[in-house]
Structure 1
Amino acid sequence: MIEFKEVEKLYQNGVHALKKMNLHISEGEFVLIIGESGAGKSTLNKLITREEKATGGEVIVNGFNLSSLKEKDIPSLRRSIGMVFQEFRLLSKMTVFENVAFAQEAIGIPLDLISDNVSQALATVGLDSKADYFPKELSGGEQQRVAIARAIVNRPNIIVADEPTGNLDSKTAWEIMSVLEDINKQGTTIIMTTHNQEFIKHTTKRIIVMDHGKMLRDDKGKVLTS
């Protein structure tokens, strides 16, 4: 599914973001990636989606070797990955339905299929009754649910969620985590970066701890109590 083999990322400004990173994430896993600012979490995400290219080693995602991936093949890779961000990145002049449909239109899904696909995605995140609302009429948690619906509407097998609860209160953050857990139970691999200490303390999910471009710990199914 996702494989990092001795991956290095050195930026032109001299920042060594990843150092000999080795990582394997299997199909259907839910992985939390934690670490302070500058630990390399965002770089890891960008390498998975091929926003950035490794300067050493190999990154393999869904059978694509990203070290040798041609530019023309990047869209095929990205269609298999859904992205969720801390900032919801919704289009303010579009309704909930239109925001989610836009992700389908962008890849040329036939119009007669879009309606059913969008309705199904909104039902998955519990927002099927608010399809005609605009983002400003929704709470922060609801806006993030729309963003998740947009990420899953093309049925990717991987979701990369970059601090998806960072702008939300504790109760809403747990609700978003529950939505992601439900999606994971359907077989979608989830890779989520987070600073949420409640998640970290009370989860049995795999936790990867990063620091200055290196993986310090890889706890598989272990509850952290400190």
Structure 2
Amino acid sequence: MILFENVSKVYPNGVPALNNINLQINNGEFVLIIGESGAGKSTLNKLITREEKATSGEIIVNDMNLSTLKERKIHLLRRSIGMVFQEFRLISNMTVYENVSFAQESIGIPMNLIRSNVDQALKRVGLSSKANRFPHELSGGEQQRVAIARAIVNGPKIILADEPTGNLDMKTASEIMTLFEEINKKGTTVIMTTHNREFIERTSKRIIVIDNGSIPSDLKEKVLTS
């Protein structure tokens, strides 16, 4: 579960990013977060991963109180969260397999387990046959699937996806959204920031609107009638 109680964030230069946010996202939810550029979406994600620390209020993520979480334990929090970005952020001189296995190696998974874990992750995203390819040999949609495999290979409880379809055509974007839905059906909480209007308008999923650092009370109706 993710819980924000009266959370505000003001950056050192005095710029306010979030204002008295109260929010609960339960285990297994699929939540879309939308808002204009600068509304506070990125700050919300950074608070969840403790890349930033709240100025006031309390944040609980996966039973960890981020206000009191020791620096030496932040890696435990981040190990439970998979990240997917609009820009893919793959390592260009590594193969598909190596990009995904690196996520396992970085947290000390034994080598004898990495092969089966990576193979399973690539199978889930439909890229088993591309394991030895390099990122530049893949389409944009395939690169994003590699990024998703990397995000899920450690079995995270939460996936944070930041505009994961922003660089993709509509058909490929729809395929990627379906993949996220399949991951969610396995029990993983998915939190996605998106401007994909078509998906927003046809989805029955929970939608959170961030507007000037605050969350409106009537979330979905505001989106669909704006």
**Shorter-chain TM-score: which interval?**
over 0.9
Given that 1:40 and 1:211 are in contact with CA atoms closer than 8 Å, whether structure 2 keeps it comes out as yes
CA shift for structure 1 position 141: 0.4
* Alignment match, 1:101: 101
Residues of 2 paired with 1:11 and 1:70: CA distance?
A: 21
* Alignment match, 1:2: 2
Residues of 2 paired with 1:77 and 1:60: CA distance?
A: 11
* Alignment match, 1:177: 177
Residues of 1 paired with 2:117 and 2:222: CA distance?
A: 36
* Alignment match, 1:166: 166
CA shift for structure 1 position 52: 0.3
> What letter matches 1:174 in structure 2?
S
Residues of 2 paired with 1:203 and 1:14: CA distance?
A: 37
Given that 1:204 and 1:223 are in contact with CA atoms closer than 8 Å, whether structure 2 keeps it comes out as no
Given that 2:33 and 2:210 are in contact with CA atoms closer than 8 Å, whether structure 1 keeps it comes out as yes
Instruction: Kindly report structure 1 stretches of 4+ aligned residues shifted beyond 3 Å.
Output: 217-226
CA shift for structure 1 position 12: 1.2
Aligned residue runs from structure 1 range 206-225, under 5 A? 206-217=206-217, 219=219, 224=224
* Alignment match, 1:72: 72
Structure 1 pair 68–161 and aligned structure 2 pair: CA distance change class (3 A): same
CA shift for structure 1 position 217: 4.2
Identity of aligned residues (%): 73
CA shift for structure 1 position 15: 1.4
Equivalent residue pairs, number: 226
Classify the secondary structure of the residue corresponding to 2:215: strand
* Alignment match, 1:57: 57
> What letter matches 1:214 in structure 2?
S
Residues of 1 paired with 2:167 and 2:217: CA distance?
A: 26
CA shift for structure 1 position 225: 6.2
Residues of 2 paired with 1:188 and 1:225: CA distance?
A: 30
Q: CA deviation digits over 1:36-77, x for unaligned, max 9?
A: 001100000000001000000001000000011100010000
Residues of 1 paired with 2:151 and 2:216: CA distance?
A: 30
Residues of 2 paired with 1:217 and 1:114: CA distance?
A: 44
* Alignment match, 2:119: 119
Residues of 2 paired with 1:81 and 1:222: CA distance?
A: 29
Residues of 1 paired with 2:191 and 2:89: CA distance?
A: 19
CA shift for structure 1 position 224: 3.3
1:18 counterpart = 2:9: no
> What letter matches 1:145 in structure 2?
R
> What letter matches 1:21 in structure 2?
I
Given that 2:209 and 2:223 are in contact with CA atoms closer than 8 Å, whether structure 1 keeps it comes out as no
Structure 1 pair 151–113 and aligned structure 2 pair: CA distance change class (3 A): same
CA shift for structure 1 position 86: 0.6
Q: CA deviation digits over 1:58-108, x for unaligned, max 9?
A: 010000000111000100000000000111000010000000000000000
Give TM-score, length-normalised by structure 2: 0.97
> What letter matches 2:195 in structure 1?
H
> What letter matches 2:190 in structure 1?
I
Structure 1 pair 54–147 and aligned structure 2 pair: CA distance change class (3 A): same
Classify the secondary structure of the residue corresponding to 1:224: helix
Classify the secondary structure of the residue corresponding to 1:216: coil
Structure 1 pair 221–137 and aligned structure 2 pair: CA distance change class (3 A): farther
Please provide the CA RMSD for this pair. Answer: 1.5
Given that 1:206 and 1:222 are in contact with CA atoms closer than 8 Å, whether structure 2 keeps it comes out as no
Structure 1 pair 217–133 and aligned structure 2 pair: CA distance change class (3 A): farther
